[in-house]
């Protein structure tokens, strides 16, 4: 069989709220995520030799068991007793450690691709269960699109509404590890975000009301550590963005713009301010 190629889109959080801490140490989250057309690509091809080979055009990427792509392949091989091997090539466009779900989306794309390559006939629910063993954003990335996510990330509900916007994404020249953010969450004083309202505004196609409802409860923690995140947000809004928000646990920030002209203004204002600036659209 020839190579199978799967697209792995980045995601942004239109809303992120923390409900509380669970007994297993995880936090209960409520989120609204949407995919954008900044994508990595996963290419898989069969090997006769019983091994997993991972390569990438990004020198920063580990090509061993530290990579979520490798983990996904290993998990499927173990669960389905696959005795043949696979060669996986990762074409990287999504910035690393950016809060855009690149690693999770790569893992999800690997699961989808191997489901085809090895003709496993996994259902979406089975792929989501596998994904949850790798990371809490992987279940969403299995189907992507515009969805509400609950629990640790395993409950994914597609939102019945058409949301389309230009998006300007900025990745500052530093990363933030998600694992270091959650221990600093103060549940008593954290900003709360009404996820119900965001979902209702998307379903009702009310862009202005959606913008007013958007928020990210993790901004308090990440901006306290890296105040430059706030400077990016302020720069975006002052140059005409409808809204600017940190995505995930940061450090990336995105702006929503209804017109491409507006998005171009935001991009131009960020030149010389940040190196990694992307103008994309929601998928």
Task: Just list the catalytic residues.
Answer: 11, 137
Alpha-carbon distance of 265 to 241, in angstroms, equals 9
Q: Give CA 150 to chain center in angstroms.
A: 15
Sheet with 243-246: strands ordered across: 243-246, 253-257, 166-171, 276-281
Any known ligand binding at 99? yes
Q: Is 146 flagged in the annotation as binding?
A: no
Measured in whole angstroms, the distance separating CA 199 from the mean position of its chain's CA atoms is 18
56 assigned binding-site residue: no
The response to whether 100 counts as a known ligand-binding position is: yes
Residue-wise DSSP of 102-131 = HHHHHHHHHHHHHHHHTT----HHHHHHHH
Q: Is 96 annotated as a binding residue?
A: yes
Structure tokens at 71: 């983990």
Q: Which residue has the tokens 């640790």?
A: 152
**104 has binding-site annotation:** yes
**According to the annotation, is 95 in a ligand binding site?**
yes
Q: Is 54 annotated as a binding residue?
A: no
The answer to whether the annotation marks 175 as part of a ligand binding site is no
For 198, phi then psi, to 5°, come to -60, -45
* Residues making up the binding site for ATP: 95-105
* Residues making up the binding site: 95-105
């Amino acid at each position: 069989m020839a190579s199978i190629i799967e697209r792995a889109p980045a995601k942004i959080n239109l809303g992120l709220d923390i409900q509380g801490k669970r007994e297993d140490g995880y936090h209960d989250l409520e989120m609204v995520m949407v995919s954008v057309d900044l994508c990595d690509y996963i290419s898989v091809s069969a090997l006769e030799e019983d091994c997993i080979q991972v390569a990438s055009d990004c020198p920063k990427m580990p090509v061993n068991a530290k990579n979520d792509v490798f983990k996904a392949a290993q998990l499927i091989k173990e669960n389905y007793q696959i005795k043949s091997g696979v060669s996986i090539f990762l074409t990287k466009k999504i910035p690393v450690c950016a809060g855009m779900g690149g690693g999770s989306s790569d893992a999800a794309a690997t699961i989808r691709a191997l489901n085809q390559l090895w003709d496993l006939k996994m259902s979406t629910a089975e792929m989501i269960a596998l994904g949850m063993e790798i990371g809490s954003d992987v279940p969403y990335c299995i189907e992507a699109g515009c969805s509400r996510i609950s629990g640790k990330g395993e409950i994914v509900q597609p939102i019945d509404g058409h949301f389309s916007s230009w998006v300007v994404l900025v990745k500052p020249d530093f990363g933030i590890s998600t694992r270091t953010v959650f221990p600093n969450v103060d549940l008593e004083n954290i900003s709360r975000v009404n996820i119900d309202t965001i979902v209702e505004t998307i379903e009702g196609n009310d862009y202005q009301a959606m913008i007013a409802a958007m928020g990210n409860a993790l901004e308090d923690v990440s901006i306290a550590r890296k105040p430059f995140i706030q400077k990016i947000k302020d720069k975006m809004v002052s140059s005409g963005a409808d809204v600017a928000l940190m995505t995930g646990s940061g450090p990336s920030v995105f702006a929503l713009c209804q017109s491409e002209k507006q998005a171009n203004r935001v991009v131009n204002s960020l030149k010389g301010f940040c190196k990694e600036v992307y103008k994309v659209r929601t998928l």
